Chain A
Amino acid sequence: MYIYDMKKRSMQEPTFLILTALAAGPQHGYGIIADAEQISGGVTRLQTGTLYMALDRLRSARLVEPDREEVADGRLRRYYRLTDEGAALLGAETERRRASAAVAAQRLRVRLAGGTA
């Protein structure tokens, strides 16, 4: 149900960044924030509240699940991993973004050709 709904509408940027950050392997909260900043080219810096609100939602939608726990500096670190549904959703979203980017690029080429001709 949730996935169906998510497919209908475009994914929000934080969700996309979090899923992308988890695509290659499990990461902990701080790692996701750092990675998301890097993926977005420094544009988006996730706030801790936003990250855990998204994780809560993604976890209840079974797109993401806890992987393992570690203790570092006396603090608990929980790693999260992408589920198969999460990977499928990210794949669909990537395809959607690629398609709209392709359309944009094509229109820009048309405009450029029209402008110079």
Chain B
Amino acid sequence: MSPGGTGQATGTDGDMPARDPAGAAALERRYLRLLRCYPPSHRAFHREEMLGVLLATARPGQRTPGLGQAVNLAACGLAIRVRRIPGWLAADAGQDALAVVSLIAPAVVFILLALGWAVNAAAGARVLPRVPVWTPLLPVPVLPFSGESVVVMIAWLAVVVLGLTGRQRTAAKIAFISLTLALLALLFVLVVLIQQVHSFYFNTFPGELLPFLPFGDVPVVLASLAACSLALSPGPRRGLAIAGWRRACLMIAGLSAGFGFPSIVQLADPAAPIWDLAFRLLGVLAIAIAVAVTCVRGPVGRRVAGLAATGLLPSLAVAIPLRVPAVILVPMLVSLLVAVLVWPVAIVSWRGRVRRVAIVSWRGRVRQAVLFVRSDRTYSRGATGPSSDRVHIRRLF
């Protein structure tokens, strides 16, 4: 073992073994394809040298990457991508995207809640002669006009208004409270569902369960997105300055139409087969189209689209061909997972305003998160209007 002596000596080795040119070209092409797992900035810096190392370590005559090596390359590339998410959000374009999301997401959540309430109200109006109906599930009458969903709606309207009037922190708090209640409701319903999963109830009309959600059927993923973006961005006013009224309204309308597609169809035709697989796939398609059409333009737009597309997660789960109880359970579990993951942000943002940080590395991250919350309490106020420390608003859309 002579680690001291190898410093310069190894610079001369690593000569590539002689191979057939066609095989080498094929191997190189396959390696290049694997390197696409890496983020563009990493690729721009490391691609050539990585390719050199990969080809130098290949066996003579090798035409395809080994399975282990392929898995390693893909896993490392994805790991670097994941590691860069906080930096991505802390960068200018990421912060601007979060600001836009903090403007549109609460509004979309409010509209979705209103749509859900309208559907329930319409259903309630049809069954009115039978009210109150006592269900085998819960000892409460079916009251489609019941108070809690209205309260949740008002709460989200307050989030929108507070955000627009510059009270971003209060808005974030209300959003997190609503989210927490929705989380508890999800847990509660999940337990009941699991207990009764074989009951006749689900084989008849699972949609009737949804009105029982004690705190309103909050779209958890979008609500999480709204709450987190309120907590971690320069805020809705900054978002409005970037996107402008017209574009913001377009995004809100588009996303509401996409995510609210089932509710809108149900309003038009109460007998619509919203639990059929084809319909569910159509719903996913509607969201994807809405995100693509309204959000993707420029670097900020792409980031907004990426964030909004996370709202697809539960819908994607719904699109999997499953039996009826699972159709409800899977998206609930997904929503639950998202809400649980969002919790640290809630706790962190509760203590104070959040300042933008340059995140150096993933190991230092948690510590920095705590640090930046306790410092600089003026940043948020300064950055909400166009006349902030970042005066010029770049043309980003």
Give the interface of A toward B (CB within 8 A).
1-2, 4-6, 20-21, 23-31, 33-35, 38-39, 41, 47-53, 55-57, 60-61, 70, 72-73, 75-79
Q: What is the predominant secondary structure among interface residues of chain A facing chain B?
A: helix
In the bound assembly, the distance between CA atoms of A75 and B356 in angstroms comes to 40
**How far in angstroms is the closest Cβ of chain A from B67?**
12
Chain A CB within 8 A of B378 CB: no
Chain B interface residue count, Cβ-Cβ cutoff 8 angstroms: 44
User: In the complex, which of the residues A31, A38, A41, A75 contacts B48, with contact meaning CB atoms closer than 8 Å?
Assistant: A75
Chain A CB within 8 A of B21 CB: no
A-contact 0/1 string along B12-34, CB 8 Å cutoff: 01111000000000000000000
Q: Are B11 and A48 in contact (CB under 8 A)?
A: no
Contacts of A52 in B (CB 8 A): 42, 46, 50, 76
Chain A CB within 8 A of B368 CB: yes
Contacts of B48 in A (CB 8 A): 75-76
Whether A50 touches B72, Cβ cut-off 8 Å, given contacts A24-B6, A34-B10, is yes
**How far in angstroms is the closest Cβ of chain B from A116?**
31
Q: Would you list which residues of chain B between 39 and 56 have a CB under 8 Å from chain A? A: 42, 46, 48-56
Q: Are B14 and A30 in contact (CB under 8 A)?
A: yes
Q: Are B3 and A60 in contact (CB under 8 A)?
A: no
Chain A CB within 8 A of B234 CB: no
Chain A CB within 8 A of B73 CB: yes
Q: Are B364 and A49 in contact (CB under 8 A)?
A: no
**How far in angstroms is the closest Cβ of chain B from A21?**
7
User: In the complex, which of the residues A4, A25, A41, A48 contacts B53, with contact meaning CB atoms closer than 8 Å?
Assistant: A48
Contacts of B83 in A (CB 8 A): 57
**How far in angstroms is the closest Cβ of chain B from A82?**
11
Q: Would you list which residues of chain B between 105 and 158 have a CB under 8 Å from chain A? A: none
In the bound assembly, the distance between CA atoms of A52 and B378 in angstroms comes to 39
Q: Are B14 and A31 in contact (CB under 8 A)?
A: yes
In the bound assembly, the distance between CA atoms of A6 and B367 in angstroms comes to 13
Whether A29 touches B3, Cβ cut-off 8 Å, given contacts A47-B69, A50-B72, is no
In the bound assembly, the distance between CA atoms of A57 and B8 in angstroms comes to 24
**How far in angstroms is the closest Cβ of chain A from B84?**
9
Q: Which 7 A-B pairs have the closest CB atoms?
A: A25-B7, A31-B10, A49-B76, A75-B52, A24-B7, A76-B48, A30-B14
